[in-house]
A = this chain, B = another copy of it.
Amino acid sequence: MAASEARERLLRTASELFYREGIHAVGVDRIVNEAGITRATFYRHFPGKEDLVEAYLDEEDAHIRAAFAEAGAQSDEPRRLLELVIEGLADDVALHHTRGCPFINASAEYPDAGSAVRATVARHRSWFRETLEQLLAADGNADPALAAGELVLLRDAAMVGGYLDGWERVRPSFVAAARRAAGIPV
């Protein structure tokens, strides 16, 4: 049951278009044309466009969790892991996510908090917050919940600021604030 090649091309193309140009701004025509498939193939793999949006966000979520797992494989020390996470975030904004945060951008287009898309966003954010909190607690942080909250704040800010103001302008403030929030001496 290897995922079909057409399906993978479809999802990859849609993800890139959604991220780069926005969701409502990209029509099904664009997607199927650039993916080199037909509408029939599209609707055989996904019930509708919104399910494709969910798959796009699920994929982003999986990427980030994989990056965390990879960092976890590099070190067992909580302090070192926190540093890796902060560095990884900075690199990610600088190199890959230069058009903002996929989850934040999608939420701007999906105001209904009960929608499936927003539920996917909420799931991702909960996982991120809880993972940071556990990491901070393992590092002996005095108030892991508060510190995790600050790191979530700063990740959002880095994504937005990197997109709208340019990363080179945001980087110093972000790194300084993030290390302080995590209780890591600068």
Residue of B nearest to A181 (CB): B177
- Complex Cα distance A152/B165, Å? 10
Q: Compute how far the CA of A24 lies from the CA of B169 in the bound complex, rounded to whole angstroms.
A: 30
13 pairs, CB–CB < 8 Å, chain A vs chain B: A22-B110, A24-B24, A24-B109, A99-B111, A103-B164, A122-B164, A129-B165, A146-B172, A146-B173, A156-B156, A157-B160, A177-B177, A180-B180
A28 adjacent to chain B (CB < 8 Å): no
Picked from B20, B174, B176, the residue with its CB within 8 Å of the CB of A111 is B20
Least CB distance from A160 to B in Å reads 4
**A100's contact among B22, B107, B172, by CB below 8 Å, is which?**
B107
Contact of B156 with A161 in the complex, beta carbons under 8 Å: yes
A170 CB–B CB distance under 8 Å: yes
When chains A and B are docked, how far (Å) is the Cα of A22 from the Cα of B115? Answer: 15
CB distance from A147 to the nearest CB of B (A): 8
CB distance from A35 to the nearest CB of B (A): 19
Residues on B with beta carbons closer than 8 Å to the beta carbon of A149: 169-170, 172-173
| Interface residues of A, dominant DSSP | helix
Tell me the chain A residues, 119-170 only, with Cβ under 8 Å from chain B.
Answer: 121-122, 125, 129, 146, 149-150, 152-154, 156-158, 160-161, 163-165, 169-170
Residues of B within 8 A of A176 (CB): 146, 150
Judge whether A25 is part of the interface by a CB distance below 8 angstroms: yes
Does A104 belong to the interface (CB within 8 Å)? yes
Q: Is A70 an interface residue (CB 8 A)?
A: no
Which residues of chain B are within 8 angstroms of A62 by Cβ–Cβ distance? none
> Which residues does chain B contribute within 8 Å of A109, judged by CB atoms?
22, 24-25, 108-109
CB-defined contacts of A152 to chain B, threshold 8 Å: 161, 165, 173
Q: Does A13 contact B (CB under 8 A)?
A: no
